[in-house]
Amino acid sequence: MRVTLTGVSKGRGGIALPHTSAEFSSGRVALAVAETEQRPTILGLIAAGRMRPDTGEVRIEGETDAAALRRRIALVDAPDVSDPAPDVTVAGIVAEELMFAGRRSGPLAALRWLDDAGARDLAGVPIADVVPERRLRLLLELATLRRGVEGLVLVSPDRHGGDPRQWWALAHEFAGRGFAVLVVAGEASAAVLTAPAAPVPARQSRLARQARLARPRPSRVRARPSAALTGRGGRA
């Protein structure tokens, strides 16, 4: 699956979202850079077929088909749109997502799912208190349960704090499972992800050196105001 955004914008003169282009496809990760409080969510909504742009177009497999975008792409953790309420427990979120996925969704089913995910310890924890990497992993895993989902649009993972390289590696993990992944984040995260790797001291082992140099990094930055950074996820 390939999704292409070409010159999309929102609002008069692009005030809500300036002209932006990006592309994401199966087995690959792309990072679209968008600043301000609302622009990341607006871009995520457009990329996932939930909002019509005022200019430009969004194509899936070369066709303009908003219904197909909505069926095949999950919008994950978008502020004020698809992010869970902060005081809801993880078990409650899991139960709800299991219901949306057409699966058994009672408390026991939620606990079984958390057991399988290695996250039973989070069952009674409000989602707002879950550390970023585990929060994002849970929400991405739950999004993949819905029938027909082939793409994931993750919005503003950097707002939760932590090291951007953690959620970038997580995005590559899901791309490695065959999903098309678009992450919408800010300039600061893009700067971290495109920074040259720090020199590796000679005394470090060869294995440690190889591990650091093999860390997934975006290959390039495209034009502003929203830049696209791309990289291929490894097959799990």
* Assigned token pair, 118: 């290695």
Count CA atoms within 13 Å of residue 178 on its CB side.
5
Task: State residue 15's pLDDT score.
Answer: 94
From the list 225, 214, 132, 138, the residue with the least C-alpha distance to 174 is: 138
CATH class of 2-85+149-232: alpha beta
> What pLDDT, in 10s, does the model give residues 115-150?
999 999 999 999 999 999 999 999 999 999 999 999
> What pLDDT, in 10s, does the model give residues 23-76?
999 999 999 999 989 999 999 999 999 999 999 999 999 999 999 999 999 999
* Assigned token pair, 21: 């282009």
Residue ranges of domains in the chain: 2-85+149-232
- Helices 107-116 and 90-100, packing angle to 10 deg: 100
DSSP readout, 19-47? EEEEEEETTEEEEEE--SSSHHHHHHHHH
CA angle 77, 81, 84 (to 5 degrees): 50
Residue 236 CB partners (closer than 8 Å, separation 6+): 173, 176, 177
16 beta partners: none
* Assigned token pair, 25: 């496809």
> What pLDDT, in 10s, does the model give residues 64-123?
999 999 999 999 999 999 999 999 999 999 999 999 999 999 999 999 999 999 999 999
